[in-house]
Amino acid sequence: MNKTLLIIQREYITRVRKKSFIIFTLLGPVFFLLISLLPILISNANKSDQHILVKDDSGLIPALPDTAGLYFTYKYQSIPVNTLKTDYSTIGEGYDAFLYIPAMQPDAPYGIEIYSNEQVSLTTKLYIESIIADKLETINLQQHDLDKNILLKLRPKVDIDDKVTSGESQKEGNAAIASAFGFGMGFIIYIVLLIYGTMVMRGVMEEKSSRIIEVIISSVKPFQLMMGKIVGIGLVGLTQFVAWGFLITILNIIIGVLFAGQLSDLQQVSASGGEVEMNAITEAMQSMQNIPIGYYLSMFIIYFLGGYFIYASLFAAIGSLAGDEEGDVQTFAFPVTMLILVSIFIMMAVVQQPHTPLAFWASIIPLSSPIVMPALIPFGVPTWQIVLSIVLLFGGFIFTTFLAGRIYRTAILMYGKKIKVKEVFKWMFYK
């Protein structure tokens, strides 16, 4: 046990001291936050104020509301239209475009034109069309003595209250929130299994190719070495996640202070363009208050650890099969990688239909349950099914570690020979 602890310590300290680990740990949260801030940064970099001169010969639209970067001016109404079409950029302080609204009926808005030296953006065109349509709609409703609220009632919004019942008790549910949480947890575990499982495989390959493994094996058993490497790299991953969580929290606070104005402007623009969407987001945030975050987090950690140990042991065994050509290892790694990919595809399917036989079996089979079960838990999984899944998960870890250890102890010291699949199966049952 002491030797295994020493190997764990060596793997952990060696990797956390690497410049690549430090740089990736520090820059990872910055990268994630830059992605979330990218719309604001691009919007600010691409922002330019547009001043549009408006002439309304219909008398129906006496004013158009300004928006972020788009300003309307009603001047020079006495100047002929043909003059404004050619001189709008030089009249007064100069304008970027000229919008002409001819004499028309509110139910037949034909002939509206906009002139500019350069093609106006689609966003600008759609905004102008939308606000003119809103104003004409109001006029048409008044002329026909209609109430807009009455018209809206003809097609009311249907909002189904989601109730999850168990016997005589019931609780609030939210399919959208459950899907988001489930998919998020499953996808994170999928990424972790690929990244850190491959890291274990690469670490074994490097030690075998450098022949340092021959020195290490003289002091410790191959199984101790394999377990020490798996646990050590797993602790490196957990350290990185904790560091990311702390740094992201700090950066969120800093960004909230520095970009408070820009975030407020973005929220106002979003609210003005999609009131329904904003209301849905508000309702979703209120629903999140009833979510047992602690329970979900504990389940996430259990399945993260179980899945990591299963696949890390398999990747460690594959790394020990490395020969002179790296392609040999890729041949053995492909089936394991496919198991992870198939699991993520199953997870995407069962999030849509969480109570099917496929969802049940995929949530208890150890090779897929680390990804599938965390995605199902927000939809309500019976306690007995979760217990069975966890027991089989750690039973699967013990079994895969046993088989991987038998492959590892034989293959780690083999050089200059192309290893066949038939031989690998034989090593599993050597005494």
Cα–Cα distance measured from residue 121 to residue 186, given in angstroms and rounded to the nearest whole number: 40
- Going by the DSSP 8-state scheme, the letter that residue 50 receives in this structure is E
pLDDT tops 70 at residue 268? no
pTM of the model: 0.63
pLDDT band at 275; cut points 50, 70, 90? very low
pLDDT digits (tens, 9 = 90+) for 175-221: 566 667 677 777 888 887 888 888 888 877 777 676 666 666 667 77
Average model confidence (pLDDT) across the chain: 76
Greater pLDDT, 344 or 45: 344
Quick one: what percent of the chain has pLDDT higher than 70? 74
What is the per-residue burial (b if ≥16 Cβ within 10 Å, else e) of 170-185?
A: eeebbeebbbebbbeb
pLDDT tops 80 at residue 40? no
Q: How far apart are the first and last CA of the chain?
A: 22
What is the per-residue burial (b if ≥16 Cβ within 10 Å, else e) of 88-110?
A: beebeeebbbbbbbeebebeebe
Q: Which residues pair with 51 in a beta bridge?
A: 71
Residue the block writes with tokens 């490097």: 206
Domains of the chain, start order: 48-152 (3.40.190.10), 173-248+290-427 (no CATH)
